[in-house]
Amino acid sequence: MDTLPRDWPEWLETVKTFSLSDFLAWALRTFSPDLAFSTSLGREDQLLLWHLDQTVATLGLSPKSLDIFTLDTGRLHPATYELWEANRSTFRLPVRGVYPEASAVETYVNTQGINGFYRSLESRKACCQVRKVEPLKRALKGKRAWITGRRADQAATRQKLPLLEWDSAFGLIKINPLAEWTQQQIEAEIAVHKIPVSVLHAQGYPSIGCAPCTRPIADGEEERAGRWWWENPEHKECGLHLAVEPKFRFQREKAHGPS
């Protein structure tokens, strides 16, 4: 899709009262098999994976009804790989790895240095471009919709995050089922369903990215303060999620919470 779908107004009206389970079932019915879910294997994404696993089974769909992937940058925490492997025996839905082009990584490292991203914002964005943005573009090619685990209260850059938006950069619908959820709601739902999560969360990492670019946060800091902590808050996105025009957003007035 290169332009706003003609069903957009109907979709905005349809999702207004959806619970999380309803939302995911609607996404599967509407966009499968051209539906993607990108997971960083963080708390939110593990919760979504659990719900998707349940919903696919309830609807009697094939695991191939959607494409679930993670961007393996080559610089992830060991704990992230351990959880990824553990998911294989926990969920019916597989999580495939998407990798950067080896030649692009080689060029970046040989020109910028192995940890060149610490030197400047431009160098850090160049690393994210090679290791995350370009692989994501390949992973989303041909997709109609993309599910993410972002939440509005995670950071200043996400305060106006809608439930549903048109992403003109990738030419698809972006679905943010947890946009209105709080960290406390996420943790409570995970505890109820005994969903496995990264050991890093208990070590002070609410948001987990590449190991060199993530640190634990201090009390009172926003959740994504540990991501690229040497940069200003307004810069703490990697290019995967760009600003969307207000007319292409939908956010209901009241959060519905866990379901």
Q: Compute the distance between CA of residue 151 and CA of residue 212 in angstroms, rounded to an integer.
A: 23
Q: Are 136 and 98 in contact (CB under 8 A)?
A: yes
Q: Compute the distance between CA of residue 213 and CA of residue 29 in angstroms, rounded to an integer.
A: 37
Q: Is 238 a catalytic residue?
A: yes
Q: Are 197 and 186 in contact (CB under 8 A)?
A: no
Q: Compute the distance between CA of residue 41 and CA of residue 50 in angstroms, rounded to an integer.
A: 12
Q: Compute the distance between CA of residue 201 and CA of residue 114 in angstroms, rounded to an integer.
A: 26
- The structure tokens listed for 193 are 């369903």
| DSSP conformation letters of 4-54 | --TTHHHHHHHGGG--HHHHHHHHHHHHTTSEEEE--SSHHHHHHHHHHHH
- The structure tokens listed for 115 are 């940890």
Q: Furthest-apart CA pair in the chain: how many Å?
A: 51
How many CA atoms within 13 Å lie on the side-chain side of 119? 10
Q: Compute the distance between CA of residue 207 and CA of residue 128 in angstroms, rounded to an integer.
A: 16
The one catalytic residue among 128, 210, 213, 238: 238
Q: Show which residues are catalytic.
A: 238
